[in-house]
Amino acid sequence: MSVSYFLSGLVLPPTSLVLLTLLGLLLLKSRPRFAVALMALSQLALLALAMPAVAGAIARTLEPPPLAADGLKRAQAIVILAGGLNRSAVEWGGESVNDFTLQRVRYGAHLAARAAFRSTSPAACRDARTPRRS
């Protein structure tokens, strides 16, 4: 583990907010008003970041906007990258795609239908080349 990875773990929430609460506990005897305010604000921030509405709003700012219609007309291919596997999918006979990959494949198929051309995924190509295990 590198030093920068360790430091980023300390600076980013939720660790930083928990450390601020602990700092407030240490300062409780010497500066009680400041300590209580620090603990209250850090715990309120921790609570706010744990709420789905706030987390979703923050995540939406990081997501790119949907593809515009003119961008789809210029597309030559749709590449669907895998998002992971469910290795213990007994009902499918072993391995299957997980929820993230399924969402990506569905959106890729939606875009392919709008663009009126065929699409394939790397997993489908791999499955066509490798025989099934019984």
Q: What is the pLDDT of residues 23-51, one digit of tens each?
A: 999 999 999 999 999 999 999 999 999 99
pLDDT category of residue 18 using cuts at 50, 70 and 90 = very high
State both tokens at 116. Answer: 């009126």
- pLDDT at residue 133 tops 60: no
Q: Where does the chain have alpha helices with state H?
A: 3-11, 15-26, 32-50, 52-62, 69-73, 99-115, 122-129
Q: What is the C-alpha separation between 72 and 88, in angstroms, rounded? A: 36
d(CA 113, CA 119): 9
Instruction: Report whether 23 contacts 43 (CB < 8 A).
Output: no
Closest listed residue to residue 96, CA positions, set 123, 129, 131:
123
